[in-house]
Amino acid sequence: MTEHIENPDFYNGLRQKLDSLGKIHGFADEPVDITARTLTAKEAIGEPEKKDYPLLKGKEVMIEAQFMGGKGEAYTCMPGNFRGTIKDILDLPLSNDLERACLIAGLNAVMNELGLVERTVHCRDHDPEVCAGKLAQYVAERFGSPRICFIGFLPAMINALSGSFPIRVVDLDENNIGLVKYGVLIQGPAETEASIKWADIILATGSTAVNATMEKFVGGKPVVFYGVTVAGIAEIYDYERFCPCSY
């Protein structure tokens, strides 16, 4: 089933960037393979202290693209494999999460190879805890004492933020919705608009680009996207990104 995308111009912009990079650097028509594969949970995140990450629970998977020496990753709820050239990626209809993840991971890999973006590979083991501590400090230094609308479910981040800031968390996982985790009630997507209205800032997972909801969070209140998925997108659209511990 083909999904409706609210703003196809957003994805066309990503396509155009990838297409122009290929032409400028002379590999648009070269038979260079970009291979996207689903990483195992251990490959993607290692063995973090908290065990309820979506990657570890099988709710999400990580797609990794490799282009020459560059790597790029993207979260998706739709596992799968893809192998093809840059042109093949540009020709994807982007009708589902896997196709969008392949475009975004591929773009991240190409931009990483060209030195245009850094930190495109997910952090591992104890890094998520370190990242969460850095995020709490970043929010305090950048915004003071804001009310936070947190989009996605990252346990270490929620735990670190909930001790210092008023926070509402919105997640898509039905197994989380309605539960109190790390002192915070996890709300469903129906509460997104109310949570944004209540908040001073938005912290949103970059995987919103994969599930075609990113633009719901842009253009109003200050938004910071976290994670590896959004690496290339943040550079192209000048979005604020937080991902200090990735590789």
Q: Using one digit for the tens of pLDDT, what is the confidence trace for 21-71?
A: 988 998 866 655 676 666 676 775 677 566 655 655 556 788 889 999 999
- Using an 8 Å Cβ cutoff, are 108 and 228 in contact? yes
Q: Is the pLDDT of residue 157 over 50?
A: yes
Give the count of domains, the chain: 2
**Residues 92 and 141 placed together within one structural domain of the fold:** no
- Per residue in 100-113, pLDDT (tens digit) is 999 999 999 999 99
pTM over 0.85: yes
Among candidate residues 69, 88, 113, the one where a domain is terminated? 113
Q: Do 98 and 201 belong to one domain? A: no
Show the domain range for 91: 8-113
> What tens digit of pLDDT does each residue of 3-16 get?
444 567 899 999 99
Q: What is the C-alpha separation between 192 and 119, in angstroms, rounded?
A: 29
Q: What CATH number should be reported for the domain holding residue 203?
A: 3.40.50.11590
Model confidence over 106-147: pLDDT tens digits? 999 999 999 999 999 999 888 999 999 999 999 999 999 999
What value does the CA radius of gyration of the chain take, rounded to a whole number of Å? 17
Q: Is residue 122 part of a domain?
A: no
